[in-house]
Amino acid sequence: MWMQEALDHLDTETNNTSINKIDILDHLAYATSQQGNVEHALAITKEMLTIAPDHARANNNKVYYESIIKNRTLTKQKRKDDINMNDLTNLKLKSIISNDKNYTINNERSDDDLEEQELYEKLCRQNGAQLNPKHQAKLFCRYRHNNHPYLILKPIKEEQLLDQPAIYLFHDIMSDKHIEEIKSLALPRLQRAVVRDSATDTFKPADYRICKSAWLRNEDSPVVARLSRLIEAVTNLSMITAEDLQIANYGVGGHYEPHFDFARKMENDAFSGLGVGNRIATWLTYLSNVEEGGATVFPLVGGHLKPKKGSAAFWYNLHASGEGDRSTRHAGRVLVLNIFMCIVLFPLSACPVLIGNKWVANKWIRERGQEFRRPCSLDPKA
């Protein structure tokens, strides 16, 4: 790859350049992790730390990659012994910092990574979730009103799609008229979606998030305010600290690779400036049908949500204890998350749009204000 070529020429060429070895290794680790080779990304990251032991992103990524490898290994039924993270230093990889001009990277993806990627791709190809009878027996449809005045006369149609994690689909949430009004408001504001780089605290585009997005406030339209009131009535969660409504548009090929909606502990001070806590729950409204592709999938649990205009999906990102629910990892939507921390996990993902145009509206609900609506539990997995 190009980063390897740059590394090979860095020590042999005499021309002046502002690029240093750390920059190249940083990008090389990122590229190999996106290819699915987490072990190799870890090896490169360790080489970075031999040069710059205090490199913040490298230290965070080292912990992150090690946890991915360990968790993946522990889930393999045929293996009985925990992975020894110290053995990772003995990976049969030549030193990344090498003056040997004939040095080439052995960047073959491990069998485990292939299995994960194949699972994600398989979910994107199929037409629905693949659940065993035990889990299917726990799913149901009903009318929900929560004894809320807003819903008493017209309850919401609720369909439970998964039981662990609990994921719900609410039907007929918005009329075509209101959907078109929101899209018309967002259209002139659409910009290339960006993600947050925690190292520089700036926002930048990323190849793993292909879409355009815009933000709408309740004050922008009565339709936006009405949707916020409806979300509060249906979820019984306060909207006081919820984020503004994010509108995202995916054209052909538009997608968002697997990610979490919540900030993890290794992401230092991810939301410290907001004072509203982590993202406790996600509300995702589908503003269009998609002829082919564009599903929201949860690879860890086999979940598959096909976009249906006017419907909305809902799930909790955090356990009642405040700990993140890792089973909510998914793909298929737009998030503002750390560019180097969320690219190789497989909780939630947005499948590529193959035919058509995909519009969604995201509402991320924060922890603050939910103390009496969703009380905290001492059980980490509650």
Return the percentage of the chain with pLDDT > 90, whole number.
33
Q: What is the pLDDT of residue 265?
A: 55
Mean pLDDT of the chain: 77
194 pLDDT tier (thresholds 50, 70, 90)? low
Domain containing 286 equals 112-366
Asked whether the predicted pLDDT for residue 14 surpasses 80, the reply is no
**Mean pLDDT score, 1-27:** 74
pLDDT of residue 302: 79
Domain-embedded: residue 377: no
Q: Is the pLDDT confidence value at 97 over 50?
A: no
pLDDT of 85 above 50? no
Q: Domain tally for the chain?
A: 2
Res. 93 pLDDT band, cuts 50 70 90: very low
My answer on whether 137 and 236 are in the same domain is yes
52-63 per-position pLDDT tens digit: 998 888 888 898
Residues ≥6 apart with Cβ < 8 Å to 170:
144, 156, 157, 158, 159, 234, 311, 312, 313, 314
Q: At residue 243, does pLDDT exceed 90?
A: yes
175 lies in some domain? yes
In a domain, 215, yes or no: yes
| pLDDT beyond 80 at 244 | yes
- Output the pLDDT for position 45: 92
| pLDDT over 50 (residue 145) | yes
Identify the weakest region by mean pLDDT among 63-72, 97-106, 342-351.
97-106
Residues 178 and 73 in one domain: no
Of the chain, the percentage scoring pLDDT greater than 70 comes to 66
CA distance 122 to 318: 27
Residue 85 lies in a domain: no
The CATH number of whichever domain residue 66 belongs to comes to 1.25.40.10
pLDDT recorded at residue 29: 87
Same domain for 198 and 122: yes
Statement to judge: residues 162 and 284 lie in one domain: yes
Lowest mean pLDDT among 11-15, 329-333, 369-373: 329-333
- pLDDT for 153 beyond 90: yes
User: Does one domain contain both 185 and 283?
Assistant: yes
23-81 pLDDT, tens digit each: 888 888 888 887 778 888 899 999 999 999 988 888 888 988 888 888 776 655 443 44
For the domain that residue 353 is a member of, what is the CATH number?
2.60.120.620
Res. 84: pLDDT tops 60: no
DSSP structure string for 21-76: HHHHHHHHHHHHHHTT-HHHHHHHHHHHHHH-TT-HHHHHHHHHHHHHHHHHHHT-
Q: In Å, how far are 16, 89, 100, 104 from 97, measured between CA atoms?
A: 19, 15, 9, 11
Would you say residue 89 lies in a domain?
A: no
Please tell me whether residues 15 and 157 are part of one structural domain: no
